[in-house]
Structure 1
Amino acid sequence: MLFSDIIGQQEIKRRLLEWVRNDRIPHAMLFFGPPGTGKLAIAVALAQYASCRERKERDSCGVCPSCVKFGKLVHPDLHFVLPVMNTQRVTGKPVTDDFIQQWREAFLSNPYLSEYQWYEAIGAENKQGFISKNESQQIIRKLGYKPYESAFRMVIIWLPEKLHPAAANSLLKLVEEPPEGTIIFMVSENTDQILPTILSRTQLLFVPPLSEEKIREGLSKRSDADPALVEDAIRKANGNFNTALQTLEQDEQEQVYFDYFKGLMRLCYKREIIAISDWVDRVAVLGRERQKQLLDYSIRLLRENFILRMKQDRLNYMSAKEAEFSEKFNLFIHEGNIRELVESFTLAANHIEANGNARIVLMDLSISAVRLLMQKSPVTG
C-alpha cells in the first residue's frame, strides 16, 4: 500500500513521513476517526514505508522485495489482529491466522472496507466479532521474535474496541513497553470503548472525514460511472469513501436491473414471446443472488408505479431514469393488477431462492406478466 494510493489526508501523511525520516516513529500509535476515511490503509502504508529498502521522500518505492511482499500483505514482519468469530469453517478458539487469506483478499480489493464487509467476507455477517485473550497471547509470542527481514516487527490491531477485557489487559504491558524494534498500530472507530489505560499509552492520530472534492477525485480513479451517479454517491457519503463506493456500486447495479426490468415490461406488453425467451436466457445466467436482487428491484418499481398512478407523487422515490420511464408505464399498473403482479414476482423470487430452475421460473413469470399487463383498469365510481 503506497501513500499515493490513499485519498486525501495529506497533513497526516506529511507528519508520518517526517517521523520515519527523522527516526522518531512512536512505538504505539492509534489512528481513530469515523469509518471510510482511510485509517487502516494509512497504517499499512506507514508500515510499508518504514520497511522499504529504497524509500523515497514521500512514499515507498513499491518495487523492492519488501514492498512487493507488503503489496500482497505477506511480509513476515507484518502481523494483523482482527475481530473474528466462529464460522461454519472455523470453530473452537478462532484467531486472525485462521482467516488471514480472506483478510488479504478483502483488504486488497477494498482498503476502505467496513467491519460488516469483513464479517461478510468470512461468512459471519449476522455475528459480532471480538479479539480474544488467546489472540493477544499469540501476538505477544510473535512479537517476541527478532525481525525476519525488516528493521521492525509490526502489528496492526484493527478495531481494538473489540478487544475482550482479558485480551486488553494482557496487551497493556506490550503497549507500554514493547520489545525493541516493535511498532504497534491500532485503528479504531470508537475510542470510547477502548480501555483508558491503553489509550494513554498510544500516540493518538485523528483521521478526519474526507471532503467531497477528495471523494470525487478517488471515485474518478476507480470508476467511469455516469457523472450523475457519482454525484449522488458523493452526496450520500458524508465523508466516508467506502459509503461512496458502495452507493455507486449499488446505483450502477440498479441501472442494470432497470434496463432488464424495462426490457421485460416492453416485451410483455408487445407479447413478443421469442424475444421474452431470449431475455430469460440472459437473466438465467446471472446467478441466483443477482436474479433475486433483480426481482426485488422489479417489485419496488412496480409499487412505485402504482403510487404514481394513484397521484401520490410526493411518496415516490425514483431516479430520474426510472421516473422518465414511469411517466407512461404507470398507466398499465392499477388496482386491478398490482396485487397479482407483486405476488407473481415475489413467488418467482421465492422459487429462485429455493433453487428452482431459473429458466422455468422466469418464463412462467413473464407469461403471467403478459396477461396482467393486458388487463384494463377496473371501472371505479
Structure 2
Amino acid sequence: MHWTKVIGQKNLKNKLEYLIETGQVPHSQLFIGPSGYGSLPLVIEFSLFLLENKDVSNAAKKLSERCQHPDLHFILPIVKRRNEKVVYSHDYIHDWLRFIDLKPYGNYSEWFESINVGNRQGLISIVDIEYARKKISLKAFNGGARVCILWGAEKMSNQASNAFLKILEEPPENTYFLLIAENQEEILPTIVSRCQIVNLRPIENSALLDVIENKTNNPEILVAKAQGNFNDLLNLINSDKDKEFEGLLIDGLRKAFKVKENKKLIVDLMDWSASLCGFGKEEQKTFLEFGVQFFRDAYLLNHSLNDIVTFKSKTNFDLSKIAPYVNDMNVKELVTLFEETHFNILRNGNVKMLFINLAFKLSELIALDVK
C-alpha cells in the first residue's frame, strides 16, 4: 500500500495492510485518537485501497481528487445555514474536499471554522444517517466494495446513534463502515461494541522531524511540544503567539502572587482573566496547552532535570524564578487546572466563568509555601 498522505504510524499501517492481505477487514472499525495523530488521512487511504485494490495510479493525486469515488461516502458533523430545514453531509462536500486537502490533520473546531458557522457546534443528524443508509443499499457503482467514513462519531445525536446502530446490526454485504472519533466515551456503547477498536498513538518524533526539517529553525523543540500531534505541530510552526502567551502567563502569575499580599489587587487578576476571553477558541486552547507545558518544565527544573526541559523563553524570562513555586504540593493541581479548562472550552463551557475560575485557583495554587 502507498500511504502517501500519512505521517508515521508504521505499526498501524502494517496491521491494516495485514487485514487486507488476509481478507480479515471487519465491516466496522472505530479509529480513536486526536485528529492530529492522523486518523482521517489514514482512514481515507485505507478506504481507497479497499475500493481501488492494488491500483496505485492515483496515489500521487490530492486526497480531494481521490475521494471523489462513487462508492466512497462521508458522514460529517454539520450545521444548518441560513433558513435550511434539512441539511446533508453532501451539501458540504466541496467545503469538505477543500478541508481535507488543506488540513487533513485538522480537528472539529477547525472544520467548523472553515465552514463559517461561528460558535455553533455541528452534529450528525438522523436524516444524514438515513440518507447514507439509502445510498449504501444501492448496488456498488463499480460492482465491488462500498465504504462509508463517519468522521466525528461522537457528534452523532441520540437519534442518529440509534439509527446507525441498526445499520451496524444488519450491515449491507461488502460494505465497510470506518468511524473516526477523538473521544470513545461519548459514543453509544452498543455502537462501540460492534466495532473493531483501532487506537492511534502519537506520531513518532522522527517522522515529524522528517516532515518539518526545513520549515523551522528549532524543529526538535517544536516536535517535543507537539507530543506526536501533527496538527499541533503545524500550529506551533505557523503561530507567532508563543511570545504573547508567555508574556500573558507570566503577567497572570505575577498578579496571582500579588493577590496573596493584597486582596484589593483581585481586580487586576480579574482584568487578566477577561483578557483571555478576548482570544478566539483555538488561541485559548493553545494558551492553556502552553501553560501545561510551562508548569511541567518548571517542575522538572525544580528537580534539576534540566536536560529534558523544553521551555525556551521568548521574553528573556528566567524559568528558575518560578520553578521553586511549582513543586510536589501543587504541580498536579496546576496542570489539571489548565487541562480541565481546556477540556471545558472544547465542550463549549462558559468562557468567562472558566477563566475567572482559572485565575482564582491559580492565585491559590501558585502562592503555596515553597517546599
TM-score by length of 1: 0.61
State the shift of 1:231 in Å.
Answer: 3.2
Within a 5 Å distance, the mapping from 1:33-44 to structure 2 comes to 33-44=33-44
Mapped partners of 1:132, 1:46: distance in 2: 25
Aligned match of 2:32? 32
Give, as a single letter, the amino acid of the residue that structure 2 aligns with 1:62: N
Contact 1:32 1:206 in 2 (8 A): yes
2:75 aligned with 1:86: no
- Structure number with greater Rg is 1
State the shift of 1:108 in Å.
Answer: 1.3
Mapped partners of 1:38, 1:172: distance in 2: 26
3-state DSSP class of the match of 2:35?
coil
Mapped partners of 2:142, 2:63: distance in 1: 11
Give, as a single letter, the amino acid of the residue that structure 1 aligns with 2:26: P
Contact 1:77 1:150 in 2 (8 A): no
2:224 aligned with 1:225: no
3-state DSSP class of the match of 2:147?
strand
State the shift of 1:51 in Å.
Answer: 1.8
Aligned match of 1:18? 18
State the shift of 1:4 in Å.
Answer: 3.4
Contact 2:8 2:207 in 1 (8 A): yes
Mapped partners of 2:107, 2:115: distance in 1: 13
State the shift of 1:202 in Å.
Answer: 0.6
- Residue from 228, 235, 240 that aligns with 2:229: 240
Contact 1:210 1:239 in 2 (8 A): yes
Aligned match of 1:305? none
Aligned match of 1:62? 58
Aligned match of 2:67? 73
- Alignment gaps of 5+ in structure 1: 255-292, 294-317, 325-381
Please provide the CA RMSD for this pair: 2.9
Aligned match of 1:249? 238
Deviations 1:59-79 (A, max 9, x none): x45359xx7887442111111
Deviations 1:296-355 (A, max 9, x none): xxxxxxxxxxxxxxxxxxxxxx9877769xxxxxxxxxxxxxxxxxxxxxxxxxxxxxxx
State the shift of 1:25 in Å.
Answer: 1.2
Deviations 1:257-308 (A, max 9, x none): xxxxxxxxxxxxxxxxxxxxxxxxxxxxxxxxxxxx9xxxxxxxxxxxxxxx
State the shift of 1:240 in Å.
Answer: 1.0
State the shift of 1:54 in Å.
Answer: 3.4
Contact 1:117 1:125 in 2 (8 A): no
Mapped partners of 2:241, 2:5: distance in 1: 24
Mapped partners of 1:227, 1:17: distance in 2: 36
Mapped partners of 2:62, 2:228: distance in 1: 31
TM-score by length of 2: 0.62
State the shift of 1:246 in Å.
Answer: 1.1
Distance 1:68 1:6, change over 3 A: closer
Contact 1:36 1:113 in 2 (8 A): yes
Aligned match of 1:159? 152
- Alignment gaps of 5+ in structure 2: 244-279, 281-310, 318-371
Aligned length: 253
Give, as a single letter, the amino acid of the residue that structure 1 aligns with 2:101: L
3-state DSSP class of the match of 1:131?
coil
2:73 aligned with 1:102: no
State the shift of 1:53 in Å.
Answer: 4.6
Mapped partners of 1:323, 1:144: distance in 2: 63
Mapped partners of 2:50, 2:4: distance in 1: 15
Mapped partners of 1:163, 1:150: distance in 2: 30
Mapped partners of 1:213, 1:48: distance in 2: 27
Distance 1:246 1:62, change over 3 A: same
Aligned match of 1:352? none
Mapped partners of 1:154, 1:94: distance in 2: 21
Distance 1:12 1:132, change over 3 A: same
State the shift of 1:225 in Å.
Answer: 2.4
Distance 1:43 1:184, change over 3 A: same
Aligned match of 1:174? 167
Distance 1:219 1:51, change over 3 A: same
- Residue from 153, 167, 186 that aligns with 2:179: 186
- Residue from 198, 205, 215 that aligns with 2:198: 205
Aligned match of 1:127? 120
Distance 1:14 1:319, change over 3 A: closer
Mapped partners of 2:9, 2:26: distance in 1: 19
State the shift of 1:209 in Å.
Answer: 1.3
State the shift of 1:233 in Å.
Answer: 2.5
Contact 1:32 1:204 in 2 (8 A): yes
3-state DSSP class of the match of 2:116?
coil
Mapped partners of 2:2, 2:87: distance in 1: 31
Within a 5 Å distance, the mapping from 1:295-334 to structure 2 comes to none
Give, as a single letter, the amino acid of the residue that structure 1 aligns with 2:235: Q
